[in-house]
Amino acid sequence: MLTDDPWITALIDENRKRHASVTGAVSVLLQELLKGQLSERQLTQGEMGNIAKVLIGYMVPASPKVEAKQ
C-alpha cells in the first residue's frame, strides 16, 4: 500500500516549489487521493472529471470580488 511512501510527499513538495498553482489545498487533496482513492482502484471518467474540477478550482486564484466578501 502507498500510504507510508515518502515519495508522495517529496513529489508534491517539489511541484509546489516549481509551480505556484500547486496550492496547499491542492497538495493536501493530492496526498489524500494518492494514499487512498487513486491507489485503491481504477476510477471512472466521471470520477476523474470531478477530481479534475476540484483540483482546478483549488488552483485558480479567487477573483477580487470573492476575496472582498470573505
What pLDDT shows up at residue 54? 92
Give the separation between CA 8 and CA 36, rounded to whole angstroms: 12
Give the separation between CA 59 and CA 52, rounded to whole angstroms: 10
The whole model's pTM is what? 0.66
pLDDT digits (tens, 9 = 90+) for 12-62: 899 889 988 888 888 889 888 888 888 888 889 999 999 999 999 888 876
Given a contact cutoff of 8 angstroms between Cβ atoms, the answer to whether 3 and 35 are in contact is yes
The domains of the chain are located at 6-59
Helix (H) or strand (E) holding 32: helix 24-35
